[in-house]
Amino acid sequence: MSSSFEKALKTLENKIPEYIKKVGRFQYKNQAFRLVDHYIASEYKRCDICGHRPIKEVFVIQDSRGNTLNVGNICINKITNQKIAQWFKDIHNRIETLKNNEYAIGTCELLLNQKLVFISAIGRKRLRTMLKRMLDGRKPTQKQVKLLIYYAHKYNDALRARRTTHGNHI
Ligand SMILES: [Zn+2]
C-alpha cells in the first residue's frame, strides 16, 4: 500500500493532464488549437507566437493537422484568454511544497497513530487539520509547526524514557 504522501503526490500530479484536457480548443489565427503539453525548458526555446527568447516554460499547442507551436507563459494566457500560466505555477508550487513536507507529514501521521503520548481531542483535531493542509500541497502555519514540534519532542522523550526503563530491567 502506498503512503498518504505518495497518494497526495499522485493526486496533484494527475491534475496536470486533467487540466490540459480541460483547457479545450481555442482559436489562434483562425485555426483551432489545443494545449497538449507543458514543460520547463532544459534547452534554448523561443516563443513561436511573439518570438521572445529564451522561454523557461514551454506550453505546446497543436492544431487539427498536428502542427505544434511552442508558446511562452505570457502568450499562452493571451491566446487562450485563460490564466493558464498561473494555474501551472500554482500546481508546481503545491507539488514542491508537498515534497518539502514529506517528513512533517510522516511525523504528523505517526503522532496520530501512536498511544505512547496522550494527545487531547483538540490536539488531534489540530494535527489532522495540519495533515490535511500539507497533503493538499499547502504550507502549514507557524502555529501548526510549533504544535507538531511540541508533540514530536514529547513523543521522543517518552520513547527515550521507555528505553531507559527497559534497560534497567536487564
Ligand atoms: Zn510569446
Whether residue 8 is found in the same domain as residue 81: yes
Q: How far, in Å, from the CA of 114 to the mean position of ligand 1?
A: 54
DSSP type of residue 108: H
Q: How far, in Å, from the CA of 57 to the mean position of ligand 1?
A: 11
The per-residue pLDDT string of the chain (170 residues; one tens digit each, 9 = 90 and over) reads 579 999 999 999 999 999 999 999 999 999 999 999 999 999 999 999 999 999 999 999 999 999 999 999 999 999 999 999 999 999 999 999 999 999 999 999 999 999 999 999 999 999 999 999 999 999 999 999 999 999 999 999 999 998 887 665 54
Residue 163: partners with Cβ closer than 8 Å, 6 or more residues away: none
Whether residue 107 is found in the same domain as residue 82: no
Q: How far, in Å, from the CA of 60 to the mean position of ligand 1?
A: 12
Q: Can you tell me the distance from the alpha carbon of 85 to that of 82, in angstroms, rounded to the nearest whole number?
A: 8
Q: Does the predicted model carry a pTM greater than 0.85?
A: yes
Range of the domain at 54: 4-91
Q: Can you tell me the distance from the alpha carbon of 76 to that of 48, in angstroms, rounded to the nearest whole number?
A: 11
Whether residue 18 is found in the same domain as residue 82: yes
Count: domains in the chain? 2
**Last residue of a domain, which of 67, 91, 115?**
91
Q: Can you tell me the distance from the alpha carbon of 54 to that of 44, in angstroms, rounded to the nearest whole number?
A: 6
Q: Which residues surround ligand 1, an ion (CB under 5 A)?
A: 47, 49-50, 52, 72, 75
DSSP type of residue 97: H
pLDDT at 166: 66
7-31 burial: b if 16+ Cβ within 10 Å, else e = ebbeebeebbeeebeebeebebeee
Q: How far, in Å, from the CA of 28 to the mean position of ligand 1?
A: 13
Whether residue 31 is found in the same domain as residue 75: yes
Other beta carbons less than 10 A from residue 84's beta carbon: 21
Q: How far, in Å, from the CA of 54 to the mean position of ligand 1?
A: 10
Q: How far, in Å, from the CA of 69 to the mean position of ligand 1?
A: 11
Q: How far, in Å, from the CA of 75 to the mean position of ligand 1?
A: 4
Three cell numbers written together for 148: 507538531
Three cell numbers written together for 108: 504528523
Q: Can you tell me the distance from the alpha carbon of 136 to that of 6, in angstroms, rounded to the nearest whole number?
A: 12
Q: How far, in Å, from the CA of 29 to the mean position of ligand 1?
A: 14
Total residue count of the chain as it appears in this document = 170
Whether residue 77 is found in the same domain as residue 152: no
Which residue in this structure is represented by grid cell 494566457? 77
